[in-house]
Amino acid sequence: DADVTQTPRNRITKTGKRIMLECSQTKGHDRMYWYRQDPGLGLRLIYYSFDVKDINKGEISDGYSVSRQAQAKFSLSLESAIPNQTALYFCATSEGQYQETQYFGPGTRLLVL
């Protein structure tokens, strides 16, 4: 089984709808991240969490919120989806020592109509 899983893998929604993307990991890592990938722009950080009680905004957090329900689970919510949030969303995890390697989930393709 994959170490980092994301659900759903694909989602189509309408403008104004609330949507949640979920990430689970079995690697036992403390740190979890949400990134967004747009064509030609690389990946950009939305939120990150060092543990259940520690959540921080990234470069592009506006319009998003997160919840760290447990060490292994980190969810990303779009409270009111808009078309420019159409993107590929990745969850990543890493150990809690310095600049460790981040391991990515398979991604969620989101289309907002």
Partner 1 sequence: AQKVTQAQTEISVVEKEDVTLDCVYETRDTTYYLFWYKQPPSGELVFLIRRNSFDEQNEISGRYSWNFQKSTSSFNFTITASQVVDSAVYFCALSVGGGSGYALNFGKGTSLLVTP
User: CA-to-CA distance for 47 and 66, rounded, in angstroms?
Assistant: 7
Q: How far is CA 82 from CA 34, 45, 59, in A?
A: 18, 18, 18
Residue 100 engages partner 1 in binding (rule: CB under 8 A): yes
- Region near partner 1 per CB under 8 A, out of 11-19, 30-38, 62-70, 76-84: 30-38
Q: Which of 42, 53, 70, 84 binds partner 1 (CB under 8 A)?
A: 42
Query: For the window 59-98, what string marks contact with partner 1 as x by the rule CB under 8 A?
Result: -----------------------------x-x-x-x---x
Strands 73-78 and 19-25, sheet pairing: antiparallel
Rounded to 5°, the CA angle 40-105-51 comes to: 110
Question: Which residues of the chain form contacts with partner 1 (CB under 8 A)?
Answer: 31, 33, 35, 40-45, 48, 50, 56, 58, 88, 90, 92, 94, 98-104, 106-107, 109
